[in-house]
Amino acid sequence: MNQPCTCSFSAFEAVPELQKQTQIDFESILRVSARVFDQWAEIIGCERCRTDFTTLIIITTAAERLLTLYTAICKAYGLSEKQLDPTDKGLDTHPHESTSSAKGSTATTQTDTASPVCAHSMMKFGKLSLEGDDASLLAHVLLSRSLVRLGELLENYTCLAFGDNNTNNKDNTLVACESSLVETMERLILLVAQVKI
């Protein structure tokens, strides 16, 4: 594989930021998601980076962590049909829609520091502040957009990175990485089914 150019470095920097979060508000999750998605789109458009082994690891790791954060959102706002485990492997915002952080308002109690907890953010539709079911509805819309965007990027990346490669010509490491990416996409599908986009 080719060596990556500078457009993959910014995506690599986002991984530690995603992994270190144990308690993060909804607004911050959306913000870091949008930044990561923009970086991925740049990588996918780069013929050198999208076929690099390091890029594959970065994207898979970041996608898994984003799904863990999205699962925390589901628990915080009651968006799924069943209680979800953020660590379960089996498993761009509108200009008039916004959130602002409300410090001290955590959505759920959790003793496991390895699993992130999503804190509620103040939900707004234009100048109108939303609470209760209305806030959950807006959270559902915004989360759904992030899930769809994540799915599109993962699908595009997989097609470009592996579409022209014959399985017989792949080494064991590449096959394992591709398998991990497929598992991540399957986990995304399960979460989408629970959220009911």
Q: What is the pLDDT of residues 31-81, one digit of tens each?
A: 889 988 988 888 888 888 777 777 888 888 888 889 999 999 999 998 876
pTM of the model: 0.75
The one-character DSSP state at 108 is -
Q: What are phi and psi of 164, to 5 degrees?
A: -95, 0
**Residue that wins the pLDDT comparison between 104 and 90:** 90
- Per cent of the chain over pLDDT 90 is 15
pLDDT in tens, 150-196: 999 998 888 877 765 544 556 676 777 778 888 888 999 999 888 87
Residue-level pLDDT at 163:
66
Which residue ranges make up each domain of the chain?
Answer: 6-195
DSSP 16-50: HHHHH-SEEEHHHHHHHHHHHHHHHHHHHT-TTGG
CA atoms within a 13 Å half-sphere pointing along the CA-CB vector of 125: 10
Residue 8 has pLDDT above 70, yes or no: no
Mean pLDDT, residues 139-147: 93
CB 159 within 8 A of CB 121: no
